[in-house]
Amino acid sequence: MSADMLLQCDLWWHGPTWLLRKETDWPAQTSFVIENPDVLRESRRVNCAATPMASESSFIDELVGKFSNYQRMLRVIAFCLRFARNCQHNTTAHSNFIGISVDEAREAETRLIKLVQKQTFVDEWKSLEQMKPVSAKSRIKWFHPMLSPEGLIRIGGRLNQSHQSYDAKHQIILPSSHALSSLLVRSYHEKHLHAAPQLLLSTLRLRYWIIGGRNLARTIVHNCIVCVRARPKLLEQFMAELPSSRVIANRPFSTTGVDYWGPILLKSTNRRAGPRKAYVAVFVCFCTKAVHLELVADLSTAKFIQALRRFVARRGLCSNIFSDNGRNFVGAANELKSLIRSKHHQQAIAEECNENGIKWHFNPPKASHFGGL
Ligand SMILES: [Zn+2]
Is residue 42 one of the residues assigned to a domain? yes
Is residue 209 one of the residues assigned to a domain? yes
Same domain assignment for residues 344 and 284 = yes
Distance 223 CA to ligand 1 centre (A): 8
Distance 194 CA to ligand 1 centre (A): 4
Same domain assignment for residues 205 and 81 = yes
Same domain assignment for residues 68 and 151 = yes
Same domain assignment for residues 43 and 85 = no
Judge contact between 320 and 254, C-beta under 8 A.
Answer: yes
Same domain assignment for residues 319 and 346 = yes
| pLDDT for the residue numbered 181 | 95
Residues within 5 Å of ion ligand 1, judged at the Cβ atom: 194, 224, 226-227
Strand, helix or coil for residue 71: helix
Distance 214 CA to ligand 1 centre (A): 15
| pLDDT for the residue numbered 47 | 66
Q: How many domains does the chain have?
A: 3
| pLDDT for the residue numbered 327 | 43
What's the pLDDT tens digit per position in 294-303?
998 887 777 8
How far apart CA 176 and CA 120 sit, in angstroms, is: 10
Instruction: Taking residues 317-331, report their average pLDDT.
Output: 64
Same domain assignment for residues 19 and 129 = no
Judge contact between 82 and 104, C-beta under 8 A.
Answer: yes
Is residue 166 one of the residues assigned to a domain? yes
Same domain assignment for residues 214 and 140 = yes
Distance 199 CA to ligand 1 centre (A): 12
**Residue 329 amino acid letter:** F
pTM above 0.75? no
pLDDT > 80? residue 23: no
Distance 195 CA to ligand 1 centre (A): 7
| pLDDT for the residue numbered 71 | 93
Domain that residue 87 falls in: 57-230
Distance 368 CA to ligand 1 centre (A): 36
- DSSP character string of 212-274: THHHHHHHHHHH-HHHHHHSPPPP-PPPPPPPHHHHS--STTSEEEEEEEEEEEE--SSSSS-
Distance 187 CA to ligand 1 centre (A): 10
What's the pLDDT tens digit per position in 51-70?
545 455 678 888 899 999 99
How far apart CA 304 and CA 353 sit, in angstroms, is: 12
Q: For position 361, which CATH number holds?
A: 3.30.420.10
pLDDT > 50? residue 331: no
Distance 105 CA to ligand 1 centre (A): 25
Same domain assignment for residues 225 and 253 = no
Instruction: Taking residues 76-91, report their average pLDDT.
Output: 85
